[in-house]
Amino acid sequence: MSALFFCVSALAVAIGNTKSYLSFVVVVLVFLTPVALGAPDEVANLLSLSMLFVSLGGLAYNIASSKNINKLRRNYYSRPIALGFTSSTRFDIAVNALVIVSVLFSAYYFSRVGIALFASEVGLERLTARHAVPGSYFFQRLFRVFLPILWLILYIQSSLNPPKYRVKMLAVLFVTCAFLLFTGLRGNLVTFIFTPVLICNGFLRKNTGFLKILLFFAASLAAGIYITMLMYEQTDLLMLLKLLSDRLTTLASDGLVYVFYDKVPSEGLLYGQSWINDFLSLFSKLGLTSADAMNYSAQVARDLLGDLYNGEQAAVYIFGEFYANLGYTGVILGSFALGIFLQYIYCRPYTLERSVFMIALFSYGQAALLLIIGGPSLSMAIDYLISLAVFYASFVTLYSISRSLRPSYG
């Protein structure tokens, strides 16, 4: 009962902090709520307490910075949506060029590693084949970062000028979804399509129809059920729905449960060592350091799976890392500090130009925080920060080059 109280309180405070049920902070807490309520009592209390202190951290930020969220949002929505660049023609050239490059290189990647979705063992194929080609991390960022952001740009443009951009937007959406589904990961569409566009709608308009949100989610859920059916061919629909429900509740906290009941009691607190290993794991992925430098989520998965371990990462969440490093003190202080940071990230776009480019970039960046909070936090944050920076640099470079291609533009 206490976990339910903490979760409801966290959501109520977060909605009050952001004045929006589509804010990414609220979305984060919504996704965490079934995980917390499905966990064993002590872990449920730990996770729900973390959620509450995240909301309290956001409240503290508003008070300390004297932010009037209602006024901030009113001023933001009163401004028209600009492009973010001086020439619409050169902007379109940059979008089209990046779409073509991303699609071609993604297609090359899948031609080399195969399509896990159609393998006899979808989950195993996804894990074993994903790095079977040199530069796999670069290729994966194209269809997990570049194409979703480009689709968001076209989605925003189609909402402003439907006849000109709708067909192109739908085509890029279809191709992006196909590449994401090819990996055989059930959460891909929710993570890289549904959540970013949900947040994007919050930037586009103050109020978004519930039916529209429901349709987006239903499409993502249907894709998840389809992939699950391919992975478990002998399972009936009722069992498939139960499996998906378990993945969103009890199975979504298996790593955190192991950390709380087994790993920390037997090994003690880490006092920051997990974040050091997390940082070093970035270099091991590039082959620059020993493969023994594993992030904490990977270590927990290896402990749980033993000889069956094949590169998986357990659901520990940043809150589990707080607990593993500093116990309940880390959970409370870390969650509070995280709440301050998330509220700053939420408020920041409202103080900037209301442009197509920045809305798409911030929508995806804020959605990526769901993955970062899921962990491993440090390496995931660095990964996406670099990916977003590379996207920004690539887009600006192509936009600049397009001027020399057609001097008469803009």
What 406-410 contacts at long range (C-beta under 8 Å, 24+ apart), as own/partner pairs, is 406/89, 406/90, 406/93, 409/87, 409/89, 409/90, 410/86, 410/87, 410/88, 410/89, 410/90
Q: pLDDT tens across 333-370, in order?
A: 999 999 999 999 999 999 988 999 999 999 999 999 98
3-state class of 236 per DSSP? coil
Rounded distance, CA 14 to CA 58, Å?
7
With respect to residue 225, please indicate whether it lies within any of the assigned structural domains. yes
Q: Which of 204, 99, 216 is nearest to 150 (CA)?
A: 99
With respect to residue 390, please indicate whether it lies within any of the assigned structural domains. no
With respect to residue 166, please indicate whether it lies within any of the assigned structural domains. yes
With respect to residue 145, please indicate whether it lies within any of the assigned structural domains. yes
Rounded distance, CA 268 to CA 259, Å?
10
What integer is the mean pLDDT of 98-117?
Answer: 90
Tokens linked to 239: 């069992």
With respect to residue 59, please indicate whether it lies within any of the assigned structural domains. no
Q: pLDDT tens across 297-330, in order?
A: 988 988 888 877 777 788 899 999 999 999 999 9
With respect to residue 244, please indicate whether it lies within any of the assigned structural domains. yes
What's the domain range around 130?
Answer: 88-249
Q: pLDDT tens across 216-234, in order?
A: 667 766 776 776 776 666 6
What integer is the mean pLDDT of 49-72?
Answer: 94
With respect to residue 66, please indicate whether it lies within any of the assigned structural domains. no
Q: Pick the residue with more confidence: 191 or 176?
A: 176
| Total of domains in the chain | 1
Q: pLDDT tens across 226-285, in order?
A: 767 766 666 666 776 676 677 777 777 888 999 999 999 999 999 999 898 888 887 765
Phi-psi region for residue 16, left (φ > 0), alpha (ψ -120 to 50) or beta? alpha
With respect to residue 259, please indicate whether it lies within any of the assigned structural domains. no
